[in-house]
Structure 1
Amino acid sequence: MAHDHNYYNALIAVADDCPVSSSVVPPERAGKPTVATVQYGLLVDKPFVHKQEDVLFLTWFERQDLGEKSAEEVAGLRAEFFAKPKPCLRTSPLAKQYGWGFAFNAEGFLKLCPVESAEYRELLDDDGVKTIKAMKASR
């Protein structure tokens, strides 16, 4: 059985050393999408559409510039992608630099949650929601 890379009833909280106190839309760099801009684009208007695995793979896929691929080819690339361990969204620049938490529901689907929002504070205080801190920028 394949390893499940998803979280359930959880919040990936912003890193303790996140430089912003309210969420910021990540900028592109040199006109190219960054990990942060791709993840933001996947999630900003689509709450609870993707699981962590989808976000990780689609972020990688979009940044590869592979052109059109068939569903079979994409499935093969996805299997190859997850054949090796991957860092989870705790390493996402959205949670480390830009003030976005990731809220996961019981089915493992996620949405962005701005650090300044009432919903974010409620999730932090909810005993039924596991809080996992994003990785710090510095060790």
Structure 2
Amino acid sequence: MIHTTNYINTFIEIADDCTISHAETPPEKKTKTLASLQYEQIKKNPYRYPSDDIIFECYAIKK
């Protein structure tokens, strides 16, 4: 079986003990982090790509 990070028909919610009250954009740095690249891809293309594709594309961009 191949490992995947894709979730299908799954609701992902914030943990009960989370102290964050709202979503935050990843902080800007000199060079883009994987988190900021992934955030940008998802923001520009909501619901378009599965998680595996976002992770792979951003990893390839960083290399």
TM-score range relative to shorter protein? 0.7 to 0.9
May I ask how many residue pairs the two structures share in their alignment? 62
Which residue matches 2:60?
61
**Whole-Å separation in 2 of the counterparts to 1:14 and 1:35:** 21
1:22 is the counterpart of 2:22: yes
Q: Distance in 2 between matches of 1:23 and 1:17?
A: 15
Q: 1:14/1:34 Cα in 2 relative to 1: closer, same or farther (>3 Å)?
A: farther
Instruction: Report which of the two structures shows the higher radius of gyration computed on alpha carbons.
Output: 1
| CA root-mean-square deviation | 2.1
* Structure with higher strand content: 1
Q: Deviations over 1:88-136 (max 9, x none)?
A: xxxxxxxxxxxxxxxxxxxxxxxxxxxxxxxxxxxxxxxxxxxxxxxxx
Give the residue type in structure 2 aligned to 1:60. Answer: Y
> How far apart are the structure 2 equivalents of 1:60 and 1:46?
17
Deviation at 1:45, TM superposition (A): 2.6
Q: Describe the superposition over 1:59-100 as per-residue Cα deviations: whole angstroms up to 9, x where unpaired.
A: 211111xxxxxxxxxxxxxxxxxxxxxxxxxxxxxxxxxxxx
Q: Which residue of 1 aligns with 2:50?
A: 51
Question: Where do residues 108-123 of structure 1 align in structure 2 (5 Å cutoff)?
Answer: none
The residue type paired with residue 11 of structure 2 is L
Which amino acid in 2 is paired with 1:62?
A: I
Q: Kindly indicate whether structure 1 or structure 2 has the higher relative contact order, using CA contacts under 8 Å at least 6 residues apart.
A: 1
Query: Deviation of residue 41 (structure 1)?
Result: 0.5
Partner of residue 7, structure 1 = 7
Detail structure 1 runs of 4+ shifted over 6 Å in the superposition: none
Unpaired runs of 5+ in structure 1? 65-139
